[in-house]
Amino acid sequence: MSTSEARHVMPAPIPIPKPPPEAPQIPGLAPPWERNQTTQPSHDQTIRSGAAGPSSAGGNQMVAPTRKYRRRTAKNLLLEILEKDKVDRKEAEIRKEEERKKEEERRAKGIVNRMLSLIIKE
């Protein structure tokens, strides 16, 4: 192949996979294609910018992140959501049980009142 032919040959474009629009969304989580993008500067950028600690002038500048304030991962968010869901389900079960007991008490009182009224009539 000569050099003039090589100029006209274009490589095939690499297809970028796009997620389907009907992908299930979990509340509190960004879609998978947006999860790995961080908006905060990295540790190195923060130190280089001069806001390395509380001793710097200004006082309210961003301090370099520590292990205590670790970024919440998708796995941790999902575990939190599942734990909250489990607690909500247990609370709903307890509420249903209480409602059922109250309804039984109402029925029992109604039956007793009817029997008393029948006894009084006779």
pLDDT at 37 over 90: no
**pLDDT-based confidence at 65, cuts 50/70/90?**
low
**pLDDT-based confidence at 17, cuts 50/70/90?**
confident
pLDDT digits (tens, 9 = 90+) for 77-89: 889 999 999 999 9
Q: How far is CA 40 from the centre of its chain?
A: 20
Domains in the chain: how many in total?
1
Position 113 in a domain: yes
**pLDDT-based confidence at 107, cuts 50/70/90?**
very high
Which secondary structure element, helix H or strand E, spans residue 8, and what is its range? Answer: helix 3-8
Position 95 in a domain: yes
Burial class (CB in 10 A: 0-12, 13-18, 19+), 14: exposed
pLDDT at 61 over 90: no
* Residue 7 to residue 12: CA distance in whole angstroms: 14
pLDDT at 122 over 60: yes
Owning domain of residue 98: 86-122
Position 112 in a domain: yes
Q: What are φ and ψ of residue 65, in 5° steps?
A: -65, 145
More confident residue, 122 or 47: 122
Position 104 in a domain: yes
Helix (H, G, I), strand (E, B) or coil at 21: coil
CB atoms near residue 96 (< 10 Å): 10
Q: What pLDDT is stored for residue 115 in this prediction?
A: 93
Position 122 in a domain: yes
Position 18 in a domain: no
Contact by Cβ (8 Å): 41, 49: yes
More confident residue, 47 or 119: 119
